[in-house]
Each structure stands twice: as structure tokens, then as C-alpha cells.
Amino acid sequence: MKKRNDFAWLPLNSLRAFAVFHGTGSVGAAAHALRVTHGAVSQHLRGLEDRLQRRLFVRTGNRLVMLPEAEELADSLLGHFRAIAADLNQFRRGDNILNVTVTPHVAQHWLLPRLDDLIRRHPEIDLRINADAAVHDLVQGDFDAAIRYGDGNWPELNCERLFEGWDVVVAAPSILEQVSIQAPRDLTRLPWILDEDRDIEMSRWFDDHGLDQQAHSRITRLPSALTLAAALDGHGVAWLPHVYAAPYLSSGRLARLFSDDRWAAQCRHHYYLCWADSKNGPCLRAFRQWIMRQLAG
């Protein structure tokens, strides 16, 4: 006897619109997320009420508001749709592929120097590294994990603290011979190298120390991955994460300025490894364990 197909009746497009409406909070946002028209989402929501023969919404002014029991259903559907998406992504890409997005500094100065050890210990992992400063969607996007800098407070993500991060003002000894540096204002007499991805943070440092960026002799903005190299070559003063500058401070290739700077201490954050529950497969678990061994060793 042929088994009855008990899910053929499901109005999948309407259920998806219903779940996305709940996740985004409005018909317009749901339409944008689904890449359909506002009217199409509204039609799906009305059709779902007709199909289920249950009232799901009340209208308040120009807004649709879900009833409590409808919210519970939508929460459940969102979880199931995300699980389906994760299964399909895993099947599409293969079990051994791990897509990780990291900041350029982390990729160049922390991850890549240790990559040989990861390959030796875990040859089964096909690691794909994306190095940019963008914050990618780890829940519904293609990336399995990210190494991010901040406070670790990112909704829907698991965040495992890796190492502390704070910023230091550094320069090659060769350019410090040009002027006497006694106070932050003396730095305006030297060229500066700024990370173009952290321009806002750097501006706050200038403001906090009463410095006018326009008063500097020269400011060059470079991609994150090039700022450290430019500082080492003596092209200017740089504002860098301590974790990347530390080896060069120890060797004397860079000198730290204003080591008692209270501003740096107040603005400390951490680097975190972040991932969504739906992406926590064997490769990611192995990668997490490898990172923790690197930090412990």
C-alpha cells in the first residue's frame, strides 16, 4: 500500500511569508527579504488564514499585529525553515567545506601564520577564508563562522571569546628621529597611516586627545591589511591592534607611543569566534578546538 503523502497540502510559500513577516516585523520588510511585492506578501498572509481557518492577525491602524498563538507558530516555522536551509547548504557544499569570514588583520597576522598547523592536524577540512571588515549574516548567509571584534553581543549567535584587543599608537624608530614626541599634539608634525575600515574609531581618538585631523602634515588611508606593513616601512604613525603590533614592539621594529594612554584601556574589546546553531557541524567543531589549542599553547 502506498504511503499517504501527508505534507502535499502544505502552503509552503504562504508559510514562508508568514515566518519572514514575523522575523522582520512588517509586510514591507518581508517583501524586501523575499524579493517579492508588498501585495504578494499580503495575499499570502490572507490566504494562510483562509487555508488554516484561523485568525492570525489583528489590524492596528495601518499595521498587522500577530496574535500570541500565531507568534508561537511563526517561531516554530522560522526554526524549521532555518534547519532546512542549513541542511540544504551542507548538502550543496559538502560536509568538509568550512566558510569562515575574518577581519583582514586577523587573517594576515594571526590565522595565516598558523595555517600550516591546521592543515596538518585537519586535512579533512576544506577551509575557505573571506577577509574583509563587513559584518555578514551568519544565520542565513553562506558563512559558517566569523572572527569578529567587539563586545560579543550579537543576537542569535554563539560567541566564544578568543583574545583581548586594544589599540596602540606606533611608529618605526626611523621617523621618530625627525621630531621630539612629548604629547599627542606633537604627532601632527608626522605623517599618519589610517586604516580606512576604522576611520570613525580613529577620529574618536583624535577628538579625545584634542587633535585636529586637518592639522596633520599628511594622512594616508590604506586597507587594513596594509597599515601594519606601511608602519614597519616607516611611512608614518599608525593606530593598530596591539595583538598584531606586539611582535614588532618586542623586536624593536616598532615603538609604542603613550603607553599609559587611559583611552586605550577604556576602549578594550575582545575578538570572538561566532557561529549560529544551525552551522555547528563537525568541521566547525574541529576548527573551534584547534583555535583554542593555539591560544592555550
Last residue of a domain, one of 92, 113, 146: 92
Q: Which amino acid is at 166?
A: W
Which range marks the domain in which residue 72 is found? 12-92
Could you tell me if 179 and 189 lie in one domain? yes
Q: How far apart are CA 224 and CA 193, in angstroms?
A: 10
Could you tell me if 128 and 65 lie in one domain? no
Could you tell me if 258 and 203 lie in one domain? yes
Could you tell me if 120 and 105 lie in one domain? yes
Instruction: State pTM to two decimals.
Output: 0.56
144-199: pLDDT as tens digits = 999 988 888 898 899 999 987 778 889 999 988 878 888 888 888 888 888 887 77
pLDDT reported for residue 2: 46
Could you tell me if 81 and 106 lie in one domain? no
Q: Output the average pLDDT for the chain.
A: 85
Q: Which of 249, 292, 268, 263 is nearest to 164 (CA)?
A: 268
Could you tell me if 202 and 287 lie in one domain? no
Could you tell me if 81 and 110 lie in one domain? no
Grid coordinates representing 81?
Answer: 525553515
15-50: pLDDT as tens digits = 999 999 998 888 888 888 888 998 898 899 999 999
Last residue of a domain, one of 71, 92, 113: 92
Could you tell me if 47 and 194 lie in one domain? no
Last residue of a domain, one of 73, 92, 111: 92
Structural domain includes residue 113:
yes
98-153: pLDDT as tens digits = 999 998 878 888 898 899 999 999 999 999 999 887 888 898 888 999 998 888 88
Beta strands of 28-142 (E only): which ranges? 57-60, 63-66, 97-102, 126-131
CATH at 54: 1.10.10.10
Pair 256, 182: CB distance under 8 Å? no
